[in-house]
Amino acid sequence: IVHKLIKLQIHFVLLISRQGKVRLTKWYSPYSQKERSKVIRELSGIVLNRGPKLCNFVEWRGHRVVYRRYAGLYFCMCIDEADNELEVLDIIHHFVEILDRYFGSVCELDLIFNFHKAYYILDEVLIAGEFQESSKRTIIRLLSTHDSMVEMAKEEATSIGNMIAQVTK
Amino acid sequence: MNPFSSGTRLRDMIRAIRACKTAAEERAVVRKECAAIRAAINENDQDYRHRNLAKLMFIHMLGYPTHFGQMECLKLIASPGFPEKRIGYLGLMLLLDERQEVLMLVTNSVKQDLNHTNQYIVGLALCALGNICSAEMARDLAPEVERLLQFRDPNIRKKAALCSIRIIKKVPDLAENFINPVAALLKEKHHGVLITGIQLCTDLCKVSPEALEYFRKKCTDGLVRTLRDLVNSPYAPEYDIAGITDPFLHIRLLKLLRVLGQGDADASDAMNDILAQVATKTESNKNAGNAILYECVETIMSIEDNGGLRVLAINILGRFLSNRDNNIRYVALNMLMRAITVDAQAVQRHRATILECVKDSDASIRKRALELVYLLVNESNVKPLTKELVDYLEVSDQDFKGDLTAKICSIIEKFSPEKIWYIDQMLKVLTEAGNFVKDEVWHALVVVISNASDLHGYTVRALFRALQTTAEQESLVRVAVWCIGEYGDLLVNNAGMLNVEDPITVTESDAVDVVESAIKRHASDLTTKSMALIALLKLSSRFPSCSGRIKDIVVQHKGSLVLELQQRSLEFNSIIEKHQNIRSALVERMPVLDEASFGGRRASSLPNTVSTSNGTAVKLPNGVAKSSAAPLVDLLDLSDDVPAPSSSGGDFLQDLLGVDLAPATQSEGTSQAPKAGTDVLLDLLSIGSNPAQDNSVSTPDILSSAQDHKPAIASLDVLAAPSLTQASSSTASNMMDLLDGFAPAPPKPANNGPAYPSIVAFESSSLRLTFNFSKQPGNPQTTTISGTFTNLSSNVFTDFVFQAAVPKFLQLHLDPASGNSLPASGNGTITQSLKVTNSQHGKKPLVMRLRIAYKVDGKDVLEEGQINNFPRDL
């Protein structure tokens, strides 16, 4: 997969479990479906097999993949070769801290059953492969506003449903 | 209501999938769910559309195809409520990418949402647009996004800023529209807006020189001030990471300053102080601080020169390099690599530490360090650095040896101060990691050895010693076998001893032992074995006392299933047994291989390696061999579609080394190879003496037919296959020649084949050649030609040699002639039989060019001609 990718800070984000299961994938550069599964296969092979004390960077196809393990989950971000790997480590940590606050001590199951929420959170941290917001509080506040809007819509739907049900009784 | 779609909830589906014990079970569950979702889509079910899309996204993550759900995203985005839009946009980003046509259909919905009264819906649209917009969408929606840069809520402004980055990257022409709104963003207090605004500004400067000029003039001071305030800001819990307020903002400010300062002394001056402050005051005990230092060093290295700052930056890198944290060391190596262009001396100071990193247990660090060491090597440090690397080669991981070997070989070639050092180092590498050495590298070594005439003895003895300790490195074995074949006599008599050498006692039989073990070694491949056979042939002449034993070894391969070995065995055996008189001439030492042409050839095929041109190449004239070979080569070159023969060193080498035609090692086009091979063998065979005429003519055929067979490393049943009959028969008769030396009577024309009229193929005032034709039944492609030469003059022709050549679609084999002197006035004839195989039988007629050489009264006469009057259908 040789790409002439537009220069982005982050080309893609991957979350892979210790067992090699994909928990989240976000592609900011264009990769076809076929390429995506190839990337995932290759990278999980490389990243999962690295020892615990080694550095958090692997070189891969002219790019650099920054990864960090949290419990059984590997958070990976692919960046350009000349970019700041250390900062990307902090971005990963920032994302994980927000997940943790949002779910309240996050675990892998949260990310499986609420995978869509993990994506919503990521969308508040990164857009177009660029960093968006350094305040965790701002992000959490935005997310809860979104959630409450969804809740309100649900309640409205049920109450309308009830009203219709009553009328048609 | 659809009975399927009301079925499982998302949570239940995930549970069901997780409960699957096998992949087959999982596929079954997914198939069932997909069927239900398709049914719901077909019925245009609205109630469960968002749930179905969520399920599809999960299924998509598992790697199953979900394209049928793409339109559902569009429908959800078009629906009025926030929850539907939210999941719709998520699906859009997840299931589609910018290259899909479907995406165009969503432009209108996105446009409406960008103008929506609900700011959160605006946010959703901006996010999706930023992540997947195409160039067309960028053009269509840029005005909306630009307007949103001034939206009242900062969370929309920051999303619009990132979305703008995507837009100007897709369509750089749009950049100028964003310059003014971005200048306003740079003055904001909200960190999210500031971070994204600075990022957008950086990207604008990269795509638009006007933007760069504008921001450099108007904003440099302001940005420096912002950075200063940030660096000096009191503790701010919302943004604090490891005691630093918002490292992300720090880093982006430093990046933008770098772009503004690069190539502009004034702007660079304006930021000197704050860069110095960041470089000296930032805490480096946590990752966040180091990330800032990283960015600061990069900026210092990029902006206009300020000696003091550079020293600071290099010192920071030095500290990084000695850090215990692997991550920090890794980035240090990386940055030093970039710093080398700025200050090579400063980087050289860290050489020892970098060399240690080559031996690190972490593959990523090793790789970086090796790249860096490679850049650090120069004439003055090549010896100690190579020693370190070669020493490390011994203990390094198997999977690192390939990279390491390639780099060491490249360094040795590039910087070798003298030949003996080059040979010593290469021998060490071959001994440690010969299996990782590329073919062209050991080929180059052989060329260098061949040119170092004063080191022949030294080299062959060193190789002999090396082979005593390890015989498991293929390329070491090859080089050793080649050298022992060439310089075996120097091995035995300790000729040309250098002061640094210890004398060794090697008997002739020891030398043969080594080559024999190479041939018997199970792991040896065809090339090695072929080379060993050649070496044995050579030794048989160098060591007459071992000749009998060598013959026994050679003959063991006459039944080899590999045609190449079988043929060599038979040929060489015959040479040893029956052609004592020409053997010593045949196996003379190789002429010195031409370094320049080999180097040139390599340079053209391998742009990254530098050829060895150290020391003076001693060019021995090998004119005798060449000139006698040349006519034949010309003759063979009948067809004009063949590229000009290139007898470059590489070709020679390759062919002499092994007549190694395994396709993998052949770097030239195949069309050229046979000719080169012929060339070489001709050289070999004709060195020094006038070869017996019967051999000289049939030799090219032997070789070329051997090459023709090469692709089908023929097992016997392949040879027996009808399609190859003609080939095998010609090979067989080739071998017969060598085996029996002088030909049996030409095959009698078969009675039951079709009859063809005889022709006068060639006639001059002094000579006539007539051809009679016959064909074997069942083999219409092959024609046996019986040629009869008649002397029309009144003088005797002596040293009579007939040579013939055919275009490529024909295959020619000449049997030996019945004699080499032709009595005068038709009082006798010479007959010679030829076999021609026409691969275009029925399409093209035979054609042949001939050359006849003889002596009249001791004077050379040469006659040439072309035969075009062959009967049709031959």
What residues of chain B lie within 8 A of the CB of A6, using their CB?
Answer: 169
Q: Using one digit for the tens of pLDDT, what is the confidence trace for B21-63? A: 999 999 999 999 999 999 999 988 888 888 999 999 999 998 8
Q: Would an 8 Å CB–CB cutoff place B678 in contact with chain A?
A: no
Contact A86 B241 (CB under 8 A): no
Task: Please report the DSSP string for B110-157 in residue order.
Answer: HHHHHT-SSHHHHHHHHHHHHHH--HHHHHHHHHHHHHHTT-SSHHHH
Q: Apex CA A79: angle with CA B135 and CA A122, to 5°?
A: 75
In this structure, of B7-16, B122-131, B291-300, the range with the lowest mean pLDDT score is: B7-16
Whether B480 and B466 have beta carbons less than 8 Å apart is answered as yes
Return the number of CB contacts < 8 Å for A and B.
Answer: 162
Whether A73 and A23 have beta carbons less than 8 Å apart is answered as yes
Amino acid at B215: F
Distance from CA of B425 to the nearest CA of A (A): 30
Q: Are strands B797-805 and B782-791 parallel, antiparallel or unpaired?
A: unpaired
| Segments of chain A scoring below 70 in pLDDT | 1-6, 169
- pLDDT band for B495, please (50, 70, 90 cuts): confident
Backbone phi and psi for residue B253, each to the nearest 5 degrees, phi listed first: -60, -45
The mean of the pLDDT values for chain B is 79
Helix axes B351-358, B307-321, angle to 10 degrees: 30
List Cβ neighbours of A151 (8 Å cut-off, separation of 6 or more): none
Q: Which of residues 765-794 of B touch A (CB under 8 A)?
A: none
Q: Using one digit for the tens of pLDDT, what is the confidence trace for A45-68? A: 999 999 888 999 998 888 999 999
Q: Would an 8 Å CB–CB cutoff place B138 in contact with chain A?
A: no
- What is the pLDDT averaged over residues B154-174? 95
Distance from CA of A155 to the nearest CA of B (A): 12
- pLDDT band for B18, please (50, 70, 90 cuts): very high
Of B735, B755, B752, B753, nearest to B744 by C-alpha is B735
What pLDDT does residue B580 have? Answer: 78
Contact A54 B295 (CB under 8 A): no
- pLDDT band for B82, please (50, 70, 90 cuts): very high
The chain A residue lying nearest B367, using CA atoms, is: A59
**Does position B129 have pLDDT exceeding 50, yes or no?**
yes
Q: Using one digit for the tens of pLDDT, what is the confidence trace for B165-222? A: 999 999 999 999 999 999 999 999 999 999 999 999 999 999 999 999 999 999 999 9
Q: Which of A90, A127, A142 sits opposite B131 (nearest CB)?
A: A127
Q: Using one digit for the tens of pLDDT, what is the confidence trace for B793-836? A: 888 888 888 888 888 888 888 888 888 888 888 778 888 888 88
Q: Would an 8 Å CB–CB cutoff place B238 in contact with chain A?
A: yes
What pLDDT does residue B56 have? Answer: 94
Return the percent helix, strand and coil in chain B, to nearest 5.
65, 10, 30
What residues of chain A lie within 8 A of the CB of B82, using their CB?
Answer: 146, 149-150, 153
Contact B86 A150 (CB under 8 A): yes
Backbone phi and psi for residue B749, each to the nearest 5 degrees, phi listed first: -55, 135
The chain A residue lying nearest B239, using CA atoms, is: A135
What residues of chain B lie within 8 A of the CB of A108, using their CB?
Answer: none
Q: Using one digit for the tens of pLDDT, what is the confidence trace for A141-160? A: 999 999 999 999 888 888 88
Q: Which of A86, A112, A115 sits opposite B291 (nearest CB)?
A: A86
Q: Using one digit for the tens of pLDDT, what is the confidence trace for B638-652? A: 334 434 344 444 444
What pLDDT does residue B500 have? Answer: 79
Q: Which of residues 51-80 of A touch B (CB under 8 A)?
A: 53-59
Whether B111 and B144 have beta carbons less than 8 Å apart is answered as yes
Contact B291 A84 (CB under 8 A): yes
Q: Which of residues 121-150 of A touch B (CB under 8 A)?
A: 123, 127-128, 130-138, 142, 145-146, 149-150
Contact A30 B98 (CB under 8 A): yes
Sheet hosting strand B848-856, strand order edge to edge: B797-805, B848-856, B859-867
**Does position B560 have pLDDT exceeding 80, yes or no?**
yes
Q: Using one digit for the tens of pLDDT, what is the confidence trace for B713-738? A: 333 333 333 333 343 444 444 444 44
Whether B469 and B424 have beta carbons less than 8 Å apart is answered as no
What pLDDT does residue A28 have? Answer: 92
What pLDDT does residue A5 have? Answer: 54
Backbone phi and psi for residue B236, each to the nearest 5 degrees, phi listed first: -130, 100
Percent of chain B residues past pLDDT 90, beyond the cut? 31
**Distance between CA atoms of B603 and B610, rounded to whole angstroms?**
7
What residues of chain B lie within 8 A of the CB of A22, using their CB?
Answer: 61-63
What pLDDT does residue B55 have? Answer: 94
What pLDDT does residue B707 have? Answer: 41
Higher pLDDT: A102 or B773? It is A102
Distance from CA of B316 to the nearest CA of A (A): 15
**Token pair for B419:** 């030949």
Q: Which of A30, A85, A145 sits opposite B97 (nearest CB)?
A: A30
What residues of chain A lie within 8 A of the CB of B117, using their CB?
Answer: none
pTM of the model: 0.68
Query: Mutate which of A38, A53, A90 to test chain B, going by most B C-beta atoms within 10 A?
Result: A90
In this structure, of A85-99, B362-376, B734-748, the range with the lowest mean pLDDT score is: B734-748
Distance from CA of A153 to the nearest CA of B (A): 7
- What is the pLDDT averaged over residues B105-131? 95
The chain A residue lying nearest B118, using CA atoms, is: A149
**Does position B412 have pLDDT exceeding 80, yes or no?**
yes
Q: Which of residues 647-676 of B touch A (CB under 8 A)?
A: none
Q: Would an 8 Å CB–CB cutoff place A86 in contact with chain B?
A: yes
**Distance between CA atoms of B341 and B209, rounded to whole angstroms?**
25
Higher pLDDT: B3 or B410? It is B410
Q: Using one digit for the tens of pLDDT, what is the confidence trace for B246-265? A: 999 999 999 999 999 999 99
Contact B199 A131 (CB under 8 A): yes
Q: Which of residues 356-395 of B touch A (CB under 8 A)?
A: 361-365, 367-368
ipTM for the whole complex = 0.94
What pLDDT does residue B188 have? Answer: 92
What pLDDT does residue B98 have? Answer: 66
**Token pair for B534:** 């050649």
C-alpha torsion B337→B338→B340→B343, nearest 10? -140
In this structure, of B169-178, B345-354, B629-638, the range with the lowest mean pLDDT score is: B629-638
Q: Using one digit for the tens of pLDDT, what is the confidence trace for B655-691? A: 444 443 343 333 333 333 333 433 443 343 333 333 3
Q: Using one digit for the tens of pLDDT, what is the confidence trace for B580-602? A: 778 878 888 888 887 777 665 55
Higher pLDDT: B844 or A126? It is A126
C-alpha torsion B327→B332→B338→B339, nearest 10? 160
Contact A154 B83 (CB under 8 A): yes
The chain A residue lying nearest B195, using CA atoms, is: A132
Q: Which of A25, A55, A90 sits opposite B362 (nearest CB)?
A: A55
Q: Would an 8 Å CB–CB cutoff place A6 in contact with chain B?
A: yes
Q: Would an 8 Å CB–CB cutoff place A109 in contact with chain B?
A: no
The chain A residue lying nearest B336, using CA atoms, is: A82
Whether B213 and B178 have beta carbons less than 8 Å apart is answered as no
In this structure, of B152-156, B210-214, B711-715, B782-786, the range with the lowest mean pLDDT score is: B711-715
- What is the pLDDT averaged over residues B106-134? 94
Q: Using one digit for the tens of pLDDT, what is the confidence trace for B264-316? A: 999 999 999 999 999 999 988 899 999 999 999 999 999 997 778 988 898 89
Contacts 24+ apart (CB under 8 A), B625-630: B625/B591, B625/B682, B625/B683, B625/B684, B625/B686, B625/B687, B625/B688, B626/B683, B628/B682, B628/B686, B628/B690, B629/B679, B629/B682, B629/B683, B629/B686
3-state secondary structure of B833: strand
**Token pair for B765:** 């005032």
